[in-house]
């Protein structure tokens, strides 16, 4: 009954907003989509869609300029930002102006585009397939790299009449980039600078909760692959966590514990008041196959960055018994690697290996905070001095060097 009452209250609030009695700025973050979050802070927002070669319809959000920018140039340099696994474009805007890097870059005169990969809440349409079909969810970040990114990048460049753009990716957003530019090398020339936050390619040293339980092995992987799970979606349980647990000052320690177990412990950088927003936005939707592909990367004997392992079907798929390796030598675009010492997914050892493999790394930046974890790149209390200020500095410096 209480849940019904809360839903009725929310409906009333939305009716009042539409009637003009309640401003959008007064509505909590967790009830707003990306477009509304951008508008809430007085920035212009646009929503664009693009259809991939294999039929997925993707949504992109845009901040074409900032009301604070002194730039009068109508052809502003473009920055494209790509979220991580289970995330969405909203991840880049939840901290608001003065802390979210997309607003800060808009203030500096950049044209901001926020991508959404197939399967998340903003990209759940297809020209022929329904999300109820298992075929819709038959993809990993490999398909996102060879279909989603090229489609979005080409659309943005055509729309803005630019030849190249700046790319900022976090976690899976970096994986997608390395897949795209290794499988389709022609896209390297479309990238002015790529900034990789928590770069994930080599993952032999990753530490998931399954690792802590000593369960990350080939037997477990085969079991996880066999599960009749198509997607990771939001559930009523997650809504309950966001609405009840994370908003309660005494109970929110549970939400903190979940964050730390998944992404690494860092009490100082966690803003607990942001927990309800974080849990209301994540998961935004993802295919189960994307998780399995990452698990494969973590337990591969070769320690290589590989395409999806279909095991007995590899010969039919690849004409070889093992999945092909992504050729990172083909990634010639300039890349800056940002990593944290306490990141369980982008382990420093793996990042250093990536640094030694990529042919054009322009900077290897270790975040100067020992406890910096995987999610801190987006929501850390000190995200400006630790991350954003250096991104802006690097983009400005790199521009003068090219």
Model confidence pLDDT, tens digit, residues 230-257: 999 888 888 888 888 888 888 889 999 9
- Alpha carbon separation from 174 to 85, 178, 197 (Å, rounded): 10, 6, 7
The one catalytic residue among 126, 142, 293, 374 = 374
- Higher pLDDT among residues 24 and 298, named by residue: 298
pLDDT at 205 over 90: yes
Predicted pLDDT of residue 400: 56
Is 374 marked active-site?
yes
Q: Which two structure tokens, joined as six digits, stand for 377? A: 């790149």
* Boundaries of every domain in the chain: 1-31, 33-233+283-401
Q: Mean pLDDT throughout 392-399?
A: 88
Q: What is the pLDDT of residues 340-383, one digit of tens each?
A: 999 999 999 999 999 999 999 999 999 999 999 999 999 999 99
Note whether 195 and 166 are within 8 A (CB).
Answer: yes
pLDDT at 277 over 80: yes
| Mean pLDDT, all residues of the chain | 90
Whole-model pTM: value is 0.90
Which has the closest alpha carbon to 84: 379, 335, 292, 375? 375
Distance, in Å, from the CA atom of 45 to the CA atom of 400, rounded to the nearest integer, reads: 30
Is 235 marked active-site?
no
Instruction: Provide the angle, in degrees to the nearest 10, between the axes of the packed helices 172-183 and 149-160.
Output: 80
Predicted pLDDT of residue 181: 98
- Superfamily of 33-233+283-401 according to CATH: Alpha/Beta hydrolase fold, catalytic domain (3.40.50.1820)
* 55 — pLDDT class (breaks 50, 70, 90): very high
The one catalytic residue among 88, 171, 182, 206 = 171
Distance, in Å, from the CA atom of 303 to the CA atom of 48, rounded to the nearest integer, reads: 38
Q: What is the pLDDT of residues 156-195, one digit of tens each?
A: 999 999 999 999 999 999 999 999 999 999 999 999 999 9
């Amino acid at each position: 009954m209480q849940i019904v009452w809360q839903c009725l209250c929310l409906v009333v609030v939305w009716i009042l907003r539409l009637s003009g009695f309640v401003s959008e700025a007064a509505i909590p973050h967790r009830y707003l989509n990306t477009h509304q979050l951008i508008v809430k802070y007085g920035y212009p927002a646009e929503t664009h869609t693009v259809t991939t070669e294999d039929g997925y319809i993707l949504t992109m959000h845009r901040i074409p300029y900032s009301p604070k920018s002194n730039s009068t140039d109508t052809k502003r340099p473009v920055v494209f930002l790509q979220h991580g696994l289970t995330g969405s474009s909203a991840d880049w805007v939840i901290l608001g102006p003065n802390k979210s890097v997309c607003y800060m870059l808009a203030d500096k005169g950049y044209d901001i585009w926020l991508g959404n990969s197939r399967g998340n809440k903003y990209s759940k349409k297809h020209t022929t397939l329904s999300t109820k079909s298992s075929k819709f969810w038959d993809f990993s970040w490999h398909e996102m790299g060879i279909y989603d990114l090229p489609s979005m990048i080409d659309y943005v460049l055509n729309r803005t009449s630019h030849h190249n753009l700046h790319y900022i990716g976090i976690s899976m957003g970096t994986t997608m980039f390395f897949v795209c530019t290794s499988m389709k090398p022609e896209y390297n020339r479309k990238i002015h600078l790529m900034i990789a936050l928590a770069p994930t390619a080599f993952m032999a040293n990753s530490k998931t909760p399954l690792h802590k339980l000593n369960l990350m092995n080939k037997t477990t992987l085969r079991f996880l692959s066999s599960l009749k799970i198509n997607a990771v979606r939001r559930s009523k349980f997650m809504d309950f966590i966001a609405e009840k647990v994370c908003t309660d000052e005494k109970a929110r320690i549970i939400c903190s514990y979940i964050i730390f177990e998944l992404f690494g412990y860092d009490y100082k950088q966690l803003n607990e008041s942001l927990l309800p927003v974080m849990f209301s936005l994540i998961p935004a939707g993802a295919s189960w196959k994307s998780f399995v592909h990452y698990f494969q990367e973590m337990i591969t004997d070769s320690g290589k960055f590989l395409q999806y392992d279909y095991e007995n079907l590899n010969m039919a798929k690849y004409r070889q018994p093992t999945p092909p390796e992504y050729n990172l030598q083909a990634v010639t675009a300039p890349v800056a690697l940002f990593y944290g010492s306490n990141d369980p997914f982008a382990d420093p050892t793996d990042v250093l290996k990536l640094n030694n493999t990529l042919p054009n790394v322009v900077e290897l930046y270790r975040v100067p905070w020992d406890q910096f974890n995987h999610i801190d790149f987006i929501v850390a209390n000190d995200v400006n001095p630790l991350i954003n200020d250096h991104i802006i500095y690097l983009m400005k410096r790199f521009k003068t060097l090219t």
